[in-house]
Amino acid sequence: MTIHLAVTPAWTCGGCGADWPCQTRQRELRAEYDGAPVSLALYLAIQLVNATHDLPEVAAGHLHHRFLGWTR
């Protein structure tokens, strides 16, 4: 079980304090969703929508890159 979970409403990592998903969580998610990139994208899209409610001051493009941009 990971300690790198999102701490809301700030959307920081509970394990390292970086913006969530941190690099460690990204690696974990890639491994967890290995062979299921669409499922990973759907999971992260849901998290992105939730984050937009908590972080209205953060530009949408930045949040998109943060939550989905690294999955390519």
pLDDT at 59: 97
Dihedral angle sign, alpha carbons of residues 24, 41, 69, 8 = negative
Q: Determine, yes or no, domain membership for 33.
A: yes
Give SS3 for 13.
strand
pLDDT at 49: 98
- Kindly report the pTM of this predicted structure: 0.92
Q: Directed axis angle between helix 60-67 and helix 37-54, to 10°? A: 140
Q: Which domain holds residue 54?
A: 6-71
Per-residue pLDDT tens digits for 30-61: 999 999 999 999 999 999 999 999 999 999 99
Q: Based on the structure, what is the number of domains in the chain?
A: 1
Q: Determine, yes or no, domain membership for 1.
A: no
Q: Determine, yes or no, domain membership for 67.
A: yes
Q: Determine, yes or no, domain membership for 32.
A: yes
Confidence of residue 66 (pLDDT cuts 50, 70, 90): very high
